[in-house]
Structure 1
């Protein structure tokens, strides 16, 4: 009976994964080509994010700076400065009017795109702030850091609503699901946790048998799965409701740094893209898990990757020996 239930659960997982990537199995290969190389950062670029309407690309890094670029031409627009230490992560509000940044100076800053200036600083973390993300309505922010907490902030009041003693090691990624009811976090303790955003209750803990450091985690667009990058050079797609890993993606190199993976949807199909410590980007078919394309050109670890919201465009950025932001198009 137990084996039948297990088999049924596995079948359900497989069917759900197929639904998540319905068009993927008939996909053709992506063909991304380098179009623009953007220079300006003076230290490792740690985070890249396209604005929700795709008009802007924001980059941030260890040089304490945020740079704004045209989201399709790569033309430099402006530099935002105010942090006193390096920036690890940035996140856009849903309407694109605000940008949040998480820094080693233990603060989160909110930047107005209308004024192109800092309008608020959130203080509360007791160590480096490593990750940050908005909810759907952009009234809440979730952050995580080296103080091992996850904090949910009321942005209007500039105060934390919840301080969750979430992990036993630095928190490396946090994100809301599509409707803002759940938060997912991961940490160097190897755990992935799902939280009720309103109550702060931990609903689920996911952990792989080998318990590698978890670098990054995010919900799939339909919020039925989470995609997790771990420092055993593996990316895993988890059905968090059944606590089961349904897909694994390998081929890249990730042993040392927190490298995110992103979803790519083009007319050719659905894919996963990630940077790598061998200076390349890898693109997998979401359904078959095959590596379909490897992008070469960076001269150091590709630490940051972002996908344009509606154009077939990937942005990537490199560490100390590179410092460039590269825009790759599949026309």
Structure 2
């Protein structure tokens, strides 16, 4: 008999995701297996061309390349799809052995990396992606590094492209030298950034012309955001965002005391970092002083009129709009199995970070770039009640913890589980 929580159905709940084109040309959202893209420049819905029929299960990671020419989506159907954004055609489809948990694209756009829930990271060479129109090339990833059976939660390339940073559920952040020919393996570890006491959920880099190498920022299930010198692995500062938001336990449970950081997003100059936190209806903005190497709370941005707890956030380098989505798929708690709500905040820019007042403004639906058509495209046309979104927020929170919090078993239970493993049955 399996442990009661080993196959908890709530772990199948997948949070809605959002990603923004670097020049603010497109906004993409993923809800379940549904990938939705809106063209901001032409104010129209984007039609995706994929001869294989699209994703068949929940999408867990989406990302644009630094130059905006590529878009990658991947998830529980064990597929990594690479799209050309000039035509929005799927040009490569990569089959993974396990469910995909994170993706990354090298700064030069030549390699796509993806990681699975068994802690293995793979690379795909896409240097020549000008393939014949209408043909999806089937590729296979090459394993290049491993986190030893720990779910890899996020992948990020450093601003100079020298390193790929991978985080996992065992509190680790690994900084690896990304070689010129990674298909031969990435064997040189630059550093480990160790200090989180729960799973590392998200990563981003902050940098500017004055600090071109950048600094690494991480968020975690321990309710902190931490600043690192990734080249040495040194912890520079810790911001206790859960405590700063004045969270109080509602029923004495640990998860109420330590709400996880779910996503991070930085302004182009790295002076502001937006933080999405479970249980926080809105966002927290942190000031990042790269000269003193410190983080401090600048402002908590509340969303008026509704309980909006973002599951994913994103911004373009060329527009002062921070995009947020709240939602989930695989729900058993609402009138819809999949739901999403998109909001925006203006003033997320370098000039705003210089202001003591941080004049950020939550945009009304009519003020959102793309307007009603964008909202219909990214959210879907269903009208969802407030109670459903509150239930969705709790479902995502529970699913995230069930997936990433390491379970503790007694010695007797561990022995029982070992005897029930498939790879041990033939030896008994």
Q: Judging changes above 3 Å, is the alpha-carbon distance between structure 1 residues 149 and 284 closer, same or farther for their aligned structure 2 residues?
A: same
Matching residue within 271, 274, 278 for 2:321: 271
Bigger Rg, which one: 2
Tell me, yes or no, if structure 1 residue 218 matches structure 2 residue 265: yes
Q: SS of the residue aligned with 1:296?
A: helix
Instruction: Compute the TM-score of the two structures, normalised by the length of structure 1.
Output: 0.72
For structure 1, the 5+ residue unaligned runs are 1-29, 302-318, 320-331
Q: Judging changes above 3 Å, is the alpha-carbon distance between structure 1 residues 112 and 231 closer, same or farther for their aligned structure 2 residues?
A: same
Separation of aligned partners in 2, 1:221 and 1:284: 16
CA apart distance, 1:214: 0.5
Q: Which has the higher contact order (CA 8 A, sep 6+)?
A: 1
Separation of aligned partners in 1, 2:76 and 2:273: 28
Separation of aligned partners in 2, 1:280 and 1:120: 36
Q: Judging changes above 3 Å, is the alpha-carbon distance between structure 1 residues 300 and 174 closer, same or farther for their aligned structure 2 residues?
A: farther
Matching residue within 101, 120, 126 for 1:88: 101
Please say if residues 122 and 159 of structure 1, whose CA atoms lie closer than 8 Å, have aligned partners that are also in contact: no
Tell me, yes or no, if structure 1 residue 129 matches structure 2 residue 152: yes
Q: SS of the residue aligned with 2:123?
A: strand
Matching residue within 114, 122, 126 for 1:109: 122
Higher strand share: 1
Please say if residues 229 and 259 of structure 1, whose CA atoms lie closer than 8 Å, have aligned partners that are also in contact: yes
Q: Judging changes above 3 Å, is the alpha-carbon distance between structure 1 residues 138 and 264 closer, same or farther for their aligned structure 2 residues?
A: closer
Which residue in 2 is equivalent to 1:62? 76
In the TM superposition, 1:274-293 aligns within 5 A as 274-277=324-327, 278-286=339-347, 287-291=359-363, 292-293=367-368
CA apart distance, 1:195: 0.6
Which residue in 2 is equivalent to 1:171? 200
> Structure 1, residues 154-180: CA drift from partner, whole Å, max 9, x if none?
222433322233311111112232333
Separation of aligned partners in 1, 2:201 and 2:295: 23
Higher helix share: 2
Please say if residues 108 and 121 of structure 1, whose CA atoms lie closer than 8 Å, have aligned partners that are also in contact: yes
Aligned residues: 268
Which residue in 1 is equivalent to 2:85? 71
Instruction: Compute the TM-score of the two structures, normalised by the length of structure 2.
Output: 0.57
Matching residue within 296, 307, 312 for 2:376: 296
Q: SS of the residue aligned with 1:281?
A: strand
Tell me, yes or no, if structure 1 residue 143 matches structure 2 residue 148: no
> Structure 1, residues 256-294: CA drift from partner, whole Å, max 9, x if none?
xx833112366xx51110111151221221243222327
Across the aligned residues of Structure 1 and Structure 2, the Cα RMSD in angstroms comes to 2.8
Tell me, yes or no, if structure 1 residue 250 matches structure 2 residue 303: yes
Separation of aligned partners in 1, 2:222 and 2:42: 35
Name whichever of 242-251 and 134-143 sits farther off. Answer: 242-251
